[in-house]
Amino acid sequence: MKLSFFKKSRNTFLFLIAFTIVVVPVFYFLVKVDEKLPIYNPTDINPKLVDNSLRGKSRNHKIGDFKLLNQNGEIITNKNYDNKIYVTDFFFTRCQTICLAMAYNMRELQEYYKKDDDIMFLSHSVTPVIDSVSVLRDYADKKGVIDGKWNVVTGDKKHIYDLARKNYFAVLDEGNGDENDFIHTENFVLVDKSRRIRGVYDGTEKENMQKIINDIMLLKEEYTK
């Protein structure tokens, strides 16, 4: 076999290697679609979770203003969560069922993000008359709540229930927040820096905490581009 054949084959081989190294990554970059979390509006949510007044809304839904009291008696508003990504839920201190797993899982998330100032947590009492500031303080101590990182809050019942139903879409039960109304939900809701819902998860399931961590990673990438 002639030597020229081997030279040609060698040149072709080197060309193919160079082509693969240069062209394939460029092609991948051009066709790659950035993975982003969905932005949830009322029309994207199970209608049973959405208040009748909002079921036709298909864009620009944001968490409304709120004003509540935390475990230290401090006023907590949406301003405390400005430019933050946060996970929120609804609980009550006397709950001996789903709230136990939810509190444990929220604490695990808090531990994971303990040194990340971008991430915060917010838990609303659904029995605010019972869950006074002093009761919340005792609860926070038992659950390992880090002040300034995770607020467990009480306040006006109707206000809290409106947040659950008309803002976070966290509960199936209908009601008006009066003294006979009661909500109980396992949902964790992920909210971005623009006060938009980016994920809803079963907070009792430990495996969903990794899903939340993965989703927060994706969400944080949006703010680094």
pLDDT at 196 over 80: yes
In a 3-state reduction of DSSP, which class is residue 183? coil
7 pLDDT band, cuts 50/70/90, is low
| Residue 37 within any structural domain of the chain | no
Measured distance CA(151)–CA(136) in Å, rounded: 10
pLDDT at 45 over 60: yes
Residues 28 and 134 in one domain: no
Residues 84 and 21 in one domain: no
| Residue 3 within any structural domain of the chain | yes
Which residue segment(s) compose the domain that 3 sits in? Answer: 1-32
The total of structural domains in the chain comes to 2
Residues 8 and 94 in one domain: no
Beta bridge partners of 152: 123
Please state, for a pLDDT cut of 70, what percent of the chain lies above it: 84
- The sheet with strand 197-202 has its strands ordered as 150-153, 119-125, 85-91, 187-191, 197-202
Residues 16 and 51 in one domain: no
Q: Considering only CA atoms, which of 154, 148, 101, 100 is closest in space to residue 123?
A: 154
Residues 56 and 6 in one domain: no
Assess contact for 93 and 136: CB atoms under 8 A: yes
Residues 9 and 115 in one domain: no
C-alpha dist (Å) from residue 74 to 27, 34, 209: 54, 40, 28
Residues 25 and 108 in one domain: no
Residues 212 and 110 in one domain: yes
Q: Considering only CA atoms, which of 83, 68, 77, 90 is closest in space to residue 118?
A: 83
Residues 27 and 67 in one domain: no
Residues 161 and 193 in one domain: yes
| Residue 114 within any structural domain of the chain | yes
| Residue 149 within any structural domain of the chain | yes
Q: Considering only CA atoms, which of 86, 89, 48 is closest in space to residue 187?
A: 89
Residues 133 and 199 in one domain: yes
| Residue 11 within any structural domain of the chain | yes
Tell me, rounded to whole angstroms, the distance of Cα 66 from its chain centroid.
18
Assess contact for 131 and 155: CB atoms under 8 A: no
Residues 76 and 172 in one domain: yes
Lowest-confidence range among 52-56, 86-90, 217-221? 52-56
- Mean of the pLDDT values across residues 54-72? 95
pLDDT digits (tens, 9 = 90+) for 93-144: 999 999 999 999 999 999 999 999 999 999 999 999 999 999 999 999 999 9
- 3-state helix, strand and coil shares in percent for the chain, rounded to the nearest 5: 40, 15, 40
pLDDT at 206 over 60: yes
pLDDT at 53 over 90: no
| Residue 132 within any structural domain of the chain | yes
